[in-house]
Amino acid sequence: MQQQVTRTIIVSILLVIVLITGSSGCSYVSDGAAVTNDESPFYNDRVVTVYMVMPEEDWKFTLKNALAEQYVKADMWFDGELFPDVAIRPKGNSSLKLMAMESSSKKYSFKVDLNFFNSARNLYGVKKVCFNNGWSDPTSMREVLGYEIFEQMDMPTPRTAHIDLWINDTHLGLYTMVEAIDKTFIERHFTDSNGNLYKPEMPAAYLNWTEEDYETRQSQSGVTEADDQAEVMDVNLGGGNLIEIMKALEPRKDDVKLTPEQRFPGGAPVVPGGPMGARGDLVQQMGLKTNENKPDHTLLFRLLDVLNNEPDETFPDEIEKVLDVDEALRFLAVSALIVHLDNYIAMGHNYYLYEDDGKFVILPWDLNMIFGTFNYGLDREQLINYYIDEPSGGAMEERPLIMRLLSHKPYLDKYHGYLRELLNGPFAVKKMNSRIDEIARMIRPYMEADEHKFYTDEQFKQNLAKDLTNSGRRDMMNPIGLKSFVAERSKSVREQLAGKRESNPGDGSGNGGYFRAGPPPGAMGPRMQIDPEKAIYVSDITPKDAEANVGKKTTACGRVVGTQVIPFAPHKPHILNLGTPDNFAVEIAEADVANFPGDPIEIYKDKTICVTGVIAMTPFGDAILVVQNPSQIVIKE
């Protein structure tokens, strides 16, 4: 009762503040035009100039505290029209992190919320957009091409456009503007706009859990008083979140104290043995974006139960009650064809689930690393010949949405039909090449004038057709040439459909690969199959037992198949990955590197070693062995 009273008081006070501060613009007053035109403001035949104008101290604050992802107020001039009092903040995961910690560039990606301070404000009917900076794409068009393919397969898809961005007197150059998936997007695409919208993060995003799993984990933990207080404040008010509105309105500080989530966007640091993931329980990791104040996850739990528990005999009847199966098959077909390994089929995230009139629909998101740009540990040949009948990065059983749907032959046949439709339509080589050339002509002058771009003009030109193998980037992204990918991937998928090339490994292991510091291509065989003999635990404590044995010592042996230095982590660890994805990884803090006769990465790379170290856990629940001295590592070969 007290909690509800507190919530009511705070909301009432903030409503008054927002009405006062949000009603006056930086310079002019206009709510913007509410237009339902399917094109505006997303033009595919020209680049729109966008100016964001804010007090200079807010711009300096944003640059200095980018990882805080804190909104500031600005006036937006879009194609010559003023939209005052919008909110803007940096956004991103790995790109934001690397830029903030290692780069002097100002070319962050941004999220713009037009109705943050005024719920009536919009950009021709759109309330939120993302300005994406092209961090991983030398051509600045992969995202646009990908969304166009999804849209041509009759799926609810965010619209895109290219813009030329200025913030105050800083010309940041060419960006891709992407429509946000939010309540406004839902209202545009669905007759029932009252359902739950989820944006899942790993590990919950794999959908390989049930309500019973959730309740079991909840029973093993409790809700703290701090959690209660956070819940009081975590409400939506008008167009924005109450906590975020309060932060945006408070006086600027030179430095913002970052939470672990802000220091390591994506939920926690990219540490040995683990992909980026979300904090919180399984339901919180599902990222409910609508109906947050009155959450009801009944249909979600039913979907998970069907995916994970329903017998094969009744699976088709039951899954069609809770999932738009036809749409899901189209989603999988496009994802597999364009090798989108940063979504559900591999990494497990970057998609939305919407509950439309009792059935879930899958929505595509974050396509900037499609066409194999994000390689998930696979080499070029594996990316081009990515298996279509087991289109998972790793074991099929870890991704039940893929395994259960494609294990049912009528669904598999329909999925094959959609692949053929793509090859003869949206992904046809001639059509794709023409569209690539069209976009290139449109954006080339803006690319050339962009002083903050991440790639050279020559790399832009080269990657339109040829592989970029000398990007010099620390993130080791060497994108396959756009036209080369389209031609070679089309040929491979046609051959797989015709039975002239393997379309699956035959054992449910999918395409292999995993997101870690390594291993290098081929280090674990052509599909990186797990070899249990490469992971030998000398003591009785294995990684599965690690959480209950943190602080104790154990010994693990294996071949060093991947290495990495993580410069943005506070202790800048040197990482050695041993043998298999489920083995311990070895962590040597930068301060302890001096204890070794040389760089530990160079000493132990590709060696088979036995390591005795102290057990620790990453925020993702991955097991590591902490090592401080060379006496703890013995080379076995």
* 71 plus 13 within the same structural domain: yes
* 90 plus 156 within the same structural domain: yes
The domain containing residue 464 runs over which residues?
A: 431-484
What Cα–Cα distance (Å) separates residue 334 from each residue in 330, 337, 359, 389, 405?
Answer: 6, 5, 21, 13, 15
> Which tokens sit at 107?
């070319």
* 35 plus 174 within the same structural domain: yes
pLDDT of residue 47: 98
Mark out the alpha helices in 132-254 (DSSP H runs).
142-152, 183-189, 211-219, 225-233, 242-249
Does 20 have pLDDT greater than 60? Answer: no
* 468 plus 616 within the same structural domain: no
Q: Is residue 51 part of a domain?
A: yes
Choosing from 467, 484, 501, the residue where a domain stops is: 484
* 15 plus 129 within the same structural domain: yes
**pLDDT single digits (tens) 85-109:** 999 999 987 677 777 665 678 999 9
Instruction: Answer for the pair 147, 56: CB distance below 8 angstroms, yes or no.
Output: no
Cis peptide before 519 (omega within 30 of 0): yes
Q: What is the CATH number of the domain that holds 606?
A: 2.40.50.140
* 39 plus 113 within the same structural domain: yes
Rounded mean pLDDT, 273-301: 82
Instruction: Answer for the pair 388, 502: CB distance below 8 angstroms, yes or no.
Output: no
Q: Is residue 191 part of a domain?
A: no
**Gap between the Cα atoms of 342 and 17, Å rounded:** 40
Q: Is residue 341 part of a domain?
A: no
Q: Is residue 59 part of a domain?
A: yes
Does 506 have pLDDT greater than 80? Answer: yes
**pLDDT single digits (tens) 447-476:** 999 999 999 999 999 999 999 876 555 444
* 122 plus 12 within the same structural domain: yes
Rounded mean pLDDT, 527-539: 46
pLDDT of residue 208: 95
* 446 plus 549 within the same structural domain: no
Q: 100-104, 123-127, 314-318, 511-515: lowest mean pLDDT where?
A: 100-104
Q: Is residue 267 part of a domain?
A: no
> Which tokens sit at 240?
């924005």
Rounded mean pLDDT, 326-334: 98
* 6 plus 143 within the same structural domain: yes
The pLDDT confidence band at residue 501, using thresholds 50, 70 and 90, is very high
Q: 229-238, 298-307, 431-440: lowest mean pLDDT where?
A: 229-238
What's the total number of domains in the chain?
3
| More reliable by pLDDT, 466 or 580 | 466
Residues in the chain: 637
pLDDT of residue 248: 63
Rounded mean pLDDT, 50-54: 98
The pLDDT confidence band at residue 555, using thresholds 50, 70 and 90, is confident
Q: Is residue 9 part of a domain?
A: yes
Average pLDDT of the chain?
82
pLDDT of residue 427: 98
Choosing from 414, 449, 484, the residue where a domain stops is: 484
Does 12 have pLDDT greater than 70? Answer: no
| More reliable by pLDDT, 92 or 110 | 110
* 107 plus 42 within the same structural domain: yes
Burial 476-490 (b: 16+ CB within 10 A, else e): ebbbbbbbbbbbbbb
* 16 plus 154 within the same structural domain: yes
**Gap between the Cα atoms of 334 and 313, Å rounded:** 28
Choosing from 185, 208, 227, the residue where a domain stops is: 185
| More reliable by pLDDT, 267 or 457 | 457
Q: Is residue 614 part of a domain?
A: yes
Does 245 have pLDDT greater than 90? Answer: no
pLDDT of residue 263: 44
* 125 plus 6 within the same structural domain: yes
Q: Is residue 151 part of a domain?
A: yes
* DSSP code of residue 123: B
> Which tokens sit at 603?
């000493």
* Cβ-based burial of 203 (10 A; exposed 0-12, middle 13-18, buried ≥19): buried
**pLDDT single digits (tens) 176-204:** 999 999 999 999 999 999 999 999 998 89
